[in-house]
Amino acid sequence: MQTVIEIRDKIKSGQMTAVEAVKQALDKAKQTADYNVFLCLNEQRALRRAAEIDARLASGEEVGVLAGVPFVNKDNILAFGDDGDQGTTSAASKFLGNFKTPIQATVIERLESAGAIAIGQANLDAFAHGSSTENSAYGVTKNAVDAERVAGGSSGGSAVAVALDIVPFALGTDTGGSIREPASFNGVLGFKPTYGLVSRFGAVAMASSTDTIGCFTHNATDADLVMSVMAGQDQRDMTTYASDYQLATELPNKPKIAVIKQFMSEANDPEVLQNTREMIDKLKNAGYQVDEIDIEEVKYALAIYYIVVSAEVSSNLARYDGVRYGVRSAQATDLASMYANSRAEGFEIENKRRIMIGSFVLSSGYFDAYYLKAQKVRTLLMQRLNQVLADYDFLVGPTVPMPAFKIGENVADPMKMYLADVLTTPANLAGLPAVSVPIAPTTDGLPVGFQVIAKQDADAQLLAFVKQIEELK
């Protein structure tokens, strides 16, 4: 596996050109087409930008800390493509199948300014609604380790692109675990930053109070470098804040670690639980203080999430009506049928399910009983997590209760699918940074993720700790 640092250094030293690095990535993308990772490849633009970087290097110009490094973008983040620098961003939906991006997302602009080169748009669950990348309008993405299993979601394509070594890093979005879960399923590192650390301008909104943009890499050092480029305030996203992100260094003291008792439930797959315990034992044997802490409030996180997030989904998807942009039904005979038919044809089943849940919890007579109550309990959860993180540096546990499941196994059971998010949603609801680190696989060779959560704006410290974990594995 080639890392970000390795490829960057080879290009800067002249051992490899940016064009060669991009061609290698494009070749691997084509060779692994059966995994259905990509919705589109932007070959012409990528090769043109690579040639420009090579020319600048040859002339002695400064080209940025990611000079020539190819990456993959999740297809709900606006990015230019081959079509006159106007790409297609569909969010893996029929609704946006013909949508041409007029702008680029802030994260793409920042990565390109640092010399990184996007080679294509990765598959996902349509509108990022899902935990398996089975809800894409353009087919299922297969797991990188076992092609009969799901990639995880919603950022499945991005995770698989890194796991297959097509690119050394990829972008994803994480609203309730959509980076960490596919990272766990495919055996790569998946990082979700503090809410507001990275601009979401140019990302297709799912749930505005929990949406974050993060990355997949092979290690914490690469994630740290990518984060240092993406982080920072953006006037186009009012949720961002001023942050002087510094590359992770050695932690001054051995951190105190809390194991969330509720995360270690026997409801987890036995091997996931055992491998997590073994990782915790390694930390203890290495001299870290590790205590088990009861955080009763986390058991309500999944219910809170699917009430609050579905409400925000319902609101955000109201803009897709066949009028302003996106697909307009050919079956429309009047305004009402245009709305109804466009939405029926453009949305996938899971999109419709979440819209209906969200509309219900926001409706008159149910708002107080569901949405308002969920927000109150969310506040209690946030307070409790912050209280624990005042005494401990990091919270740990499994990332997902189970290894990757078989394609089609849970499609007919949405509740079983939603339960895949039970351990990841607390960090999103509280706006905390979190990461999934690959640890020992199951006896069948299926990847297992170890989740670490930190206090707000402690992203660099979190990655510094992950570097220590990587040394123990």
- Phi, psi at residue 149, to the nearest 5°? -110, 165
Q: Provide the residue type at 166 as one letter.
A: I
Residue reference for tokens 């089975």 = 134
Fill in the DSSP letter of residue 406: B
Is there a catalytic annotation at residue 178? Answer: yes
Can you spell out the DSSP letters for 176-211? SSTTHHHHHHHTSEEEEPPTTTB--TTBPPS-TTT-
Which has the closest alpha carbon to 463: 228, 199, 117, 141?
228
Q: Are strands 289-293 and 70-74 parallel, antiparallel or unpaired?
A: unpaired
Cis bond before residue 154 (omega within 30° of 0): yes
Residue 179 and residue 209: Cα distance in Å, rounded? 16
Q: Provide the residue type at 145 as one letter.
A: V
Can you spell out the DSSP letters for 52-119? HHHHHHHTT----TTTT-EEEEETTB----TTTT--B--TT-STTTTPBPSS--HHHHHHHHTT-EEE
Residue 347 and residue 93 in contact, taking contact as beta carbons nearer than 8 Å: yes
Is there a catalytic annotation at residue 208? Answer: no
Residue 51 and residue 64: Cα distance in Å, rounded? 15
Residue 390 and residue 387: Cα distance in Å, rounded? 5
Residue reference for tokens 């506040």 = 379
Give the tokens for residue 8. Answer: 């960057």
Q: Which of 10, 74, 94, 142 is catalytic?
A: 74
Residue 414 and residue 457 in contact, taking contact as beta carbons nearer than 8 Å: no
Is there a catalytic annotation at residue 12? Answer: no
Q: Can you say whether the dihedral through the CA atoms of 175, 177, 182, 183 is positive or negative?
A: positive
Q: Provide the residue type at 81 as one letter.
A: G
Q: Which of 131, 154, 314, 436 is catalytic?
A: 154
Residue 213 and residue 191 in contact, taking contact as beta carbons nearer than 8 Å: no
Residue 54 and residue 4 in contact, taking contact as beta carbons nearer than 8 Å: no
Q: Which of 90, 155, 178, 436 is catalytic?
A: 178
Residue 176 and residue 178: Cα distance in Å, rounded? 6
Give the tokens for residue 438. Answer: 């690959």
Residue 385 and residue 294: Cα distance in Å, rounded? 11
| HSE, side-chain direction, 13 A CA sphere, residue 417 | 25
Beta bridge partners of 121: 40, 73
The residue count of the chain comes to: 473
User: What positions carry a catalytic annotation?
Assistant: 74, 154, 178
